[in-house]
Amino acid sequence: MKKPKKQPRLPPRVVIVGFGRVGGAIALGLREAGWDVAVLPRSADSVRKAAALRVFLADHDDLRAAQLCILAVPDSAVGPAMELVEEDLGPSTALVHCSGALPLTVFSTGRTKRPVGSFHPLVAISDPKDALSGNAVALASTDRTLHGNLERMAVALGMSPLEVPETGRAAYHAGAVLSAGLLVALLDGAVSAFAEAGLNREVALKSLLPLSASALRGVQSRGLEKGLTGPVVRGDVSVVQAHLESLPPELGSLYRLLSRRALRLTPALPPETRLALERLLA
Ligand SMILES: NC(=O)c1ccc[n+]([C@@H]2O[C@H](COP(=O)([O-])OP(=O)(O)OC[C@H]3O[C@@H](n4cnc5c(N)ncnc54)[C@H](OP(=O)(O)O)[C@@H]3O)[C@@H](O)[C@H]2O)c1
């Protein structure tokens, strides 16, 4: 007799509280993957946005039946949003926030006995239509079934799950911020340096963006050390000196700090060149 074929497990039902950038991106991604997902926006404007993108609005039955309730709200609203939905959720619905900074203990401020977790996409999402696929997502949870469901959700969205120990959450999130938001702040510094040279800021940004993208592509292909370019790698002391003399003090400090970091990625410099650069960058 033939062994009966195993039926594929249905994906868990999901309700997302908040239809902002992250809530919207997760909702659209899960819908695309064929998951049963509904959203609970707060303002009339967000309700309109969800309707325009043909995302289902959650009703009471959706809240009762959901296996995952994702709180895609600002960090400071995770507690209040949890209080808002707690009574309407089914008894075993898990609560999940999307913050990189908040520990899971944020849920202990309420009296919830539910499994709780976190699903933090390592993506700079500035619009609900931004793609999540191809990026990593940090998962944390208090429960094995929930963990399995969060992994399934990551895979459905085309994301690679990453485990981050709760004790290292702040350092992990600092790293994430350094690589995204603060990269934008660094780009603002680069635009200001072009402005010092007399260039228009808009023109500067347009020319610098592809340069930054090429630097990131180099790192993607060859790693941090081999992808690094610039006068520090070349041991060009006089160029570094000229740069420092041309920049206003605040940009000079930023340039020094980052060049010291670049020096750490450049082990092969002759000792006298390294010493000269270290003195200049101190
Ligand atoms: N954006 C990113 O790049 C990114 C990346 C990774 C993780 N995250 C995390 O994702 C979470 C959401 O961030 P976001 O960027 O999506 O924020 P967002 O675009 O500002 O969206 C937040 C949504 O939450 C709703 N909201 C605010 N307070 C609420 C409350 N008390 N109850 C119910 N709904 C409430 C807002 O509704 P209304 O607009 O209708 O008022 C808004 O639509 C945060 O924890 C953030 O740290 C963000």
19 lines ligand 1 (CB under 6 A): yes
pLDDT exceeds 80 at position 8:
no
> How high is the pLDDT of residue 54?
95
One domain for residues 156 and 182 = no
pLDDT exceeds 80 at position 262:
yes
Q: How many domains does the chain have?
A: 2
Contact by Cβ (8 Å): 37, 30: yes
DSSP 3-state of 137: strand
Which of 165, 191, 213 is the C-terminal boundary of a domain?
165
Beta strands in the chain (DSSP E): 14-17, 37-40, 68-71, 94-97, 116-121, 136-141, 160-163
Mean pLDDT in residue range 255-259: 98
Please, what's the b/e burial string for 235-251 (b: 16 or more CB within 10 A of its CB; e: otherwise)?
Answer: bebeebeebbeebeeeb
Q: pLDDT band for 110, please (50, 70, 90 cuts).
A: low
119 lines ligand 1 (CB under 6 A): no
Range of the domain at 207: 178-281
- Which ligand 1 atom is the nearest neighbour of the CA of 75? 45
Q: pLDDT band for 113, please (50, 70, 90 cuts).
A: confident
Residue 34 to residue 38: CA distance in whole angstroms: 12
One domain for residues 154 and 270 = no
Cα dist. 87→114, 184, 230 in Å? 12, 41, 58
Contact by Cβ (8 Å): 165, 139: no
Q: In what order do the strands lie in the sheet with 136-141?
A: 37-40, 14-17, 68-71, 94-97, 116-121, 136-141, 160-163
From ligand 1's centre to the CA of 61, what distance in Å?
23
Tell me the per-residue pLDDT of 38-92, one tens digit each, with 9 for 90 and over: 999 999 999 999 999 999 999 999 999 999 999 999 999 999 999 999 999 999 9
One domain for residues 74 and 109 = yes
One domain for residues 22 and 155 = yes
pLDDT exceeds 90 at position 211:
yes
- Residue 21 has which token pair? 């950038």
> How high is the pLDDT of residue 1?
66
Nearest CA to ligand 1 atom 18: 20
Q: pLDDT band for 9, please (50, 70, 90 cuts).
A: confident
Q: Which uninterrupted H or E stretch holds 276?
A: helix 271-281
Residue 30 to residue 186: CA distance in whole angstroms: 33
One domain for residues 64 and 129 = yes
Residue 223 inside a domain? The answer is yes
138 lines ligand 1 (CB under 6 A): no
pLDDT exceeds 80 at position 109:
no
β-strands 136-141, 116-121 pairing:
antiparallel
CATH number at residue 105: 3.40.50.720
| Mean of pLDDT over the chain | 95
